[in-house]
Amino acid sequence: MITFTLISSRLSKIITELAYCFFQIFMASRIPSQEISHIGILVPDLFRGNPWTKDQPNTLLEQWIARHNPERIAKDITAWTEWMTDEFLTSGDSRKLSIIGFCFGGGLLLEVLARDEGACFGTGISFYGTRIDPVVASDVKVPVLFILGDSDPFCAVSEIENIQKKMDRGSKVVIFPGRGHGFAHRPGSPEEDKDAEKAYVIMRDWIYEHLVV
């Protein structure tokens, strides 16, 4: 499934309703001024109708991951990226894209950026990325924003900080004290919801700074 639409409601509500692990590709030219209320967004179905859902036991996670071939996922991402880039080039806009990944997608994001070598993407935002390959970090040519909580058992702060040091000097790590895995797209309390809002504001400003200004 490929979707391309203009979002006009609160971004956090949209993301909360989407699948647990996914990528979003944003076009900077769709962000007027400092608002993110009207953006071009592509949410590719990397898992071909079989996403990981919160009601599944964690003991089945490895089996679920094994069913999704990394090479196939990489080809899908390349195809969707080229499609969206062509769509905007057709309309006369040649600005680069931003790629955003959550959880498993947040880890795979670095591999995508490393392969891209700055050709299509101008920046990336990784929300509590898992299974990150530190080897590819030094091959990423664009700044990346890492957002995570310091109580996340799947995404250690020390690991992300070490990866950030290997990357573009413009990369940044933002840590939310007391927050665990998934707090931004699946907040479990009013306090987490407030931090989710803060995280999306940071994301919005990052996209604006690196792609629009």
Q: Highest mean pLDDT range out of 22-26, 87-91, 144-148?
A: 144-148
The SS3 of residue 74 is helix
Rounded CA separation 123/203 (Å): 11
Q: What percent of the chain has pLDDT over 70?
A: 77
Q: In this predicted structure, what is the pLDDT of residue 39? A: 52
Q: In this predicted structure, what is the pLDDT of residue 8? A: 28
Q: In this predicted structure, what is the pLDDT of residue 108? A: 87
The fold for domain 4-212 equals: Rossmann fold (3.40.50)
Residues 127/107, Cβ–Cβ less than 8 Å: no
Q: Where are the domains of the chain?
A: 4-212
Mean pLDDT, residues 5-9 = 30
Rounded CA separation 163/182 (Å): 20
**What are the tens digits of pLDDT across the range 163-198?**
999 886 799 999 999 999 989 988 889 999 999 999
Query: What's the mean pLDDT when you consider all of the chain?
Result: 78
CA 153 to chain centre: 19
Name the more confident of 153 and 58: 153
**What are the tens digits of pLDDT across the range 88-145?**
777 776 678 888 888 888 888 899 999 998 888 889 999 999 989 899 998 999 999 9
Reported confidence tier of residue 4, pLDDT bands at 50, 70, 90: very low
pLDDT > 60? residue 7: no
Q: Highest mean pLDDT range out of 14-18, 27-31, 174-178, 180-184?
A: 174-178
Please tell me whether the overall predicted TM-score, pTM, comes out greater than 0.85 for this model: no
The alpha helices in the chain, defined as continuous H runs, are 11-17, 61-66, 70-90, 104-116, 134-137, 157-165, 190-207
Rounded CA separation 144/172 (Å): 6
Mean pLDDT, residues 15-38 = 39
Provide CB contacts within 8 A for 51, sequence distance 6+: 19, 20, 21, 22, 45
In Å, how far are 41, 85, 96, 180, 208 from 29, measured between CA atoms? 11, 12, 9, 33, 9
pLDDT > 80? residue 210: yes
Q: In this predicted structure, what is the pLDDT of residue 3? A: 29
Rounded CA separation 103/109 (Å): 10
Q: In this predicted structure, what is the pLDDT of residue 33? A: 33
